[in-house]
Amino acid sequence: MNRLKKSSLTLAALALIGAGLIYWSPWQTQGDQPAYRMGKVEKGNLSATITSSGTLNALVTVQVGSQVSGQITELLADFNSQVTQGQVIARLDPETFETRRAQAEADLKAGESAVEVARGNLTMRQANLTMAKIAHREAQRNQERKQALIRQGFLSPAEMDTAQASADTAAQTLNQAEAEVRVAQAQLQSALASVSQRQAAVRQARAELERTVIRSPVNGMVISRNVDVGQTVAASLQAPVLFTIAQDLKEMEVNIAVDEADVGRVAEGLKVAFTVDAYPGERFTGRVTQIRKSPQTSNNVVTYSVMARVANPDLKLLPGMTASARILTEERRDVLIVPNEALRFRPAQADGSPVKQDVRARESGPGLPGRVWQLDAKGQPVAIPLRLGVSDGRATEILKGDIGPGGEIILGLADDSGRRKGPGARPMGL
């Protein structure tokens, strides 16, 4: 009886061991051969882009201000008003400036009268000078005649002294008349200068009066109005802005902030595509027109403004809208492409560490080095060195490498491989 019991226990133990070996064997086999997700090298098109955000603006935006201070008496334009160059869009109270103009014009008339007086005085002084010259010449001739008569003994020396005194007096009178003419000429020049000054004051008063009428400097649309009727504007150090006018909204520009690492890939003429939140699903296109050299720094991030011009015939786009833009920097047609996840894959060694790369085995040539992995006849990963070109973030162009269209490559490990993750791993419950 004991022997039978022992034999039964032995058979039961052997059955349990056999069942365990049968249950364990598939896990052990799968652990030796990990499962991979496979993909293929294909031919296709690639587009390398730079993604960033930007702001829409009008091509030309003019701020219309007031050059004089005063109270707004009339507004002839409002938000979204279409205006033409020279059109009156606002008026200031002109009363003060009209008074200044009238005073300046009156001062000018007084100055012109003073010029006439100075001219008359000069004419009189010039006549006096002429008379003084005649008297001086007559005194000189009288003196010469008397000198001849004295030499002949017909006149006494006393009469000669009288003639000399008359000649000296005539000379002094001539000098005085010449001085008075010079003074009269100076007075006339001063009066003329005063007239010029008052003419300038009249022009200034008229210009200030004209500036109480605010006119549009360009054709366009009013996108901002900053004043109301009755408001007083003060033009002291700078002109207060009354209106902001966008010259033409049928053509706009996008100011795109491009990171310093990407700005070297941007050039004038590149195609730009962007979307705005106001029209989801609708894409707008334009061209890069300018790369501004002035850097913008925010939170230690340096960006540069890239300006792109875009047509806006339907006036859908408005100034200030935020644009999500993509700048097309490079485009490739009908080239070999490989998924980027295949380039990131690295098979693991038995201990779980990545396989070491052999730098000397890199493919030479243009572009950047890279590699993908294929399975050999034994199911083991084998590296294929490549030279890589343009990437769009999901796939990369193959410039050179021992692989062709349709070649199978490893993308990564299969998520449901069921293999052991390390030593001691075993099915749940064992």
- Of 204, 226, 200, the C-alpha closest to 78 is 226
Question: Going by C-beta distance under 8 Å and a sequence separation of 6 or more, which residues neighbour residue 253?
Answer: 56, 57, 58, 59, 286, 289, 307, 308, 309, 310
pLDDT digits (tens, 9 = 90+) for 170-186: 888 889 989 999 999 99
Q: How do the domains of the chain map onto residue ranges? A: 50-58+248-331, 61-92+213-245, 95-210
- Of 377, 367, 348, 278, the C-alpha closest to 319 is 278
Q: Tell me the average pLDDT across 64-77.
A: 94
- Write the CA distances from 159 to 146, 147, 167, integer angstroms: 8, 9, 13
- 413 near 400, Cβ under 8 Å? no
pLDDT of residue 417: 45
- 291 near 306, Cβ under 8 Å? yes
pLDDT of residue 236: 77
Question: Going by C-beta distance under 8 Å and a sequence separation of 6 or more, which residues neighbour residue 187?
Answer: 118, 121, 122
pLDDT of residue 317: 94
- Write the CA distances from 134 to 127, 137, 163, 184, integer angstroms: 11, 5, 16, 20
pLDDT of residue 139: 84
The third-level CATH classification (topology) of the domain covering 95-210 is Helix Hairpins (1.10.287)
Concatenate the DSSP letters of all residues of 325-348 into one string: EEEEEEEEEEEEEEEHHHHH---B
Q: Tell me the average pLDDT across 302-310.
A: 96
pLDDT of residue 280: 92
Q: Residue 11: phi, psi to the nearest 5?
A: -65, -40
Does domain 50-58+248-331 bear CATH number 2.40.30.170?
yes
- 350 near 55, Cβ under 8 Å? no
Give the model's confidence band at 425: pLDDT under 50 very low, under 70 low, under 90 confident, else very high. Answer: very low
Name the amino acid, one letter, at 42: E
Q: Tell me the average pLDDT across 286-311.
A: 95
62: buried, middle or exposed (CB in 10 Å: 19+, 13-18, 0-12)? middle
Task: Please tell me the CATH code under which domain 61-92+213-245 is placed.
Answer: 2.40.50.100
122: buried, middle or exposed (CB in 10 Å: 19+, 13-18, 0-12)? buried
Least confident stretch, 83-97, 122-136, 138-152, 249-263: 138-152
Give me the chain's average pLDDT, please: 85
Structure tokens that stand for 216 in this block: 């549009």
Q: How many C-beta neighbours within 10 Å does residue 344 have?
A: 11
Long-range pairs for 345-350 at CB < 8 Å and ≥24 separation? 345/372, 345/373, 345/410, 345/411, 345/412, 347/373, 347/381, 347/410
Percent of the chain with pLDDT over 70: 84
pLDDT of residue 36: 87
Burial of 243-256, coded b for 16+ CB within 10 Å and e otherwise, reads: bbbbbebebbbbbb
- Of 384, 381, 388, 386, the C-alpha closest to 354 is 381
Least confident stretch, 101-110, 138-147, 333-342, 348-357: 348-357
pLDDT of residue 231: 93
- 322 near 300, Cβ under 8 Å? no
Name the amino acid, one letter, at 73: T
Give the model's confidence band at 14: pLDDT under 50 very low, under 70 low, under 90 confident, else very high. Answer: low
pLDDT digits (tens, 9 = 90+) for 80-108: 999 999 999 999 999 999 999 999 999 99
Give the model's confidence band at 248: pLDDT under 50 very low, under 70 low, under 90 confident, else very high. Answer: confident
User: Which residue, chain included where needed, has tokens 């410039």?
Assistant: 399
- Write the CA distances from 383 to 60, 175, 387, 403, integer angstroms: 57, 117, 13, 11
